[in-house]
Amino acid sequence: MLKRIDAALEEVRKPVSTANGLPNAFYTDAATFAEEREAVLFANWSAIGFASDIAGPGEAMPIDFAGMPLLAVRDREGTVRVFQNTCRHRGMILIEERRTITGAIRCPYHSWSYALDGELRATPHVGGPGHNMHDDICREALGLIEIRSHIWRDVIFVNVSGNAPDFEVYAADLIERWREFDQPLFFGGADSAFQLEVDCNWKLAVENYCESYHLPWVHPGLNSYSRLEDHYHIEAPGLYSGQGTHVYRPMIDDSGSRFAEFAGLHSRWESAAEYIALYPNVLFGVHRDHAYAIILQPVSHERTIEHVAIYYASADMLAGDRAELRAANSAMWKAVFEEDIFVVEGMQRGRHGVRFDGGRFSPVMDGPTHLFHVWVADQFVAASHGG
């Protein structure tokens, strides 16, 4: 790593009141993005998709994770696994579109075929036409390469490096913080999922999400009932950060219908809600009557796809009589997240200003965002030291 980058990262790791943000290269440079893929995304537990997208037995979906082809599969016993979507023969992509595997995963190139648990089941003609085995082709050693995975709150996390602590250790603090919300989540379905494609580096979406500082200006609709002073910082150095509000109001329609609430919550959740970025790339929101997850898919150093899924507290909320309310809730959140697009894309363009020094942080208002910058810097420093 260049010495000037080392020096710049040390500026990031200073206290929030005097720190600079990550250097421009972390947002505008493809080579730095490639380093970041290894040091940040692959070295930690990163979100790649939703388990509810492969809800049934045999369902499989290909996922492009920062250029790495992955395949998430649910077997007939309900177990979800993540594999490299790469045939062990000649490296062909196995599955191009989401579909249900009724038997085996057959490579379209030479028909090597794999079971849903990754076992290599067939190597047709590998020893010549009509000869399906060869002494030097050991099927036991050529199963699909599995990537370490874990599911939490319907989000599929992967640790590509294989070296991160177990997920339950990695996310222990947040799991404990939201222990009350550790209960079944019911995905709202097609009307409760949407994607936003933004021309910005994925980290900018995290940085914006973490702070409430921008709310009065970017989300003026909140000013009437959720003022800046109604929000509080959530800061877990090295783990996650975000914001909470003391004045959440659930959605109620004209007939008085509302969503069912999660059971057994502390009374503070009557009016509280929390919004947390679990490093590196997933944004969660919890409320007494619904929750959501936003998976940030890094497409390139300056393009991100935000995958949003909204969940409810009971299966009854998935019924037709709640369809309008679900749609209204989805539309509300989509509008809020769309309001953020111009600022994250604006920051991305601003980062091309070559004299920009990474910026400064409000010592009072930008703590959560600064913590994320520090965490990213720490990952790069650790990677450069072979950690």
Partner 1 sequence: MVAEAATFGRGSIDAALLDAHARRDNAALVSLYVQAADMFEESGEEDAACFYLTHAYVFALEQGLPQQAGLHARLCAKGRDRPRDGQGIGSAAPSYPWARRPHHLPW
Closer to partner 1 by Cβ: residue 29 or 75:
75
Q: How far apart are CA 326 and CA 74, in angstroms?
A: 27
Q: What is the chain's length? A: 387
Closer to partner 1 by Cβ: residue 143 or 359:
143
Closer to partner 1 by Cβ: residue 159 or 304:
159
Closer to partner 1 by Cβ: residue 76 or 268:
76
User: Could you tell me the smallest distance in angstroms from the CB atom of residue 138 to partner 1?
Assistant: 11
Question: For the residues of 113-173, what is the DSSP string, one character each?
Answer: EE-TTS-EEE-TTBTBTT----TT--GGG-S--EEEEEEETTEEEEESSS-SPPHHHHTHH
Asked whether the beta carbons of 113 and 105 are under 8 A apart, the reply is: yes
User: Could you tell me the smallest distance in angstroms from the CB atom of residue 127 to partner 1?
Assistant: 8
User: Could you tell me the smallest distance in angstroms from the CB atom of residue 2 to partner 1?
Assistant: 36
Dig out the tokens for 80 from the structure.
């979800």
SS3 39: helix
Closer to partner 1 by Cβ: residue 55 or 335:
55
Closer to partner 1 by Cβ: residue 40 or 185:
185
Dig out the tokens for 182 from the structure.
């550790």
Q: How far apart are CA 130 and CA 331, in angstroms?
A: 57
Closer to partner 1 by Cβ: residue 125 or 268:
125
Answer yes or no whether residue 106 interacts with partner 1 by CB under 8 A: yes
CA neighbor of 229 nearest in space, from 208, 239, 215, 209:
215
Name the phi and psi angles at 106, rounded to 5: -105, 125
SS3 217: helix
Answer yes or no whether residue 186 interacts with partner 1 by CB under 8 A: yes
Closer to partner 1 by Cβ: residue 143 or 189:
143
The region of 15-23, 50-58, 286-294, 373-381 touching partner 1 under the rule CB under 8 A is: 50-58
Contact characters 264-303, partner 1, x per CB under 8 A: ----------------------------------------
Asked whether the beta carbons of 168 and 250 are under 8 A apart, the reply is: no
Q: How far apart are CA 153 and CA 99, in angstroms?
A: 23
Answer yes or no whether residue 90 interacts with partner 1 by CB under 8 A: no
Size of the site for partner 1 (CB under 8 A): 41
SS3 106: strand
Closer to partner 1 by Cβ: residue 79 or 195:
79
How is residue 37 annotated by DSSP?
I
Binding partner 1 by CB under 8 A: which of 11, 64, 117, 199?
A: 117
Return the bridge partners of 64, or none.
Answer: 69
Q: How far apart are CA 50 and CA 294, in angstroms?
A: 10
Answer yes or no whether residue 184 interacts with partner 1 by CB under 8 A: yes
Which residues in 120-159 contact partner 1 (CB under 8 A)? 121-122, 124-125, 129-133, 139-140, 143, 146, 148, 150-151, 154
Answer yes or no whether residue 1 interacts with partner 1 by CB under 8 A: no
319 Cβ contact list (under 8 Å, min separation 6): none
Q: Is the dihedral of CA 262, 266, 269, 270 positive or negative?
A: positive
User: Could you tell me the smallest distance in angstroms from the CB atom of residue 129 to partner 1?
Assistant: 5
Contact characters 54-83, partner 1, x per CB under 8 A: -x-------------------xxxxxx---
The residue ranges that bind partner 1 (CB under 8 A) are 51-52, 55, 75-80, 102-106, 111, 113, 115-119, 121-122, 124-125, 129-133, 139-140, 143, 146, 148, 150-151, 154, 184-186
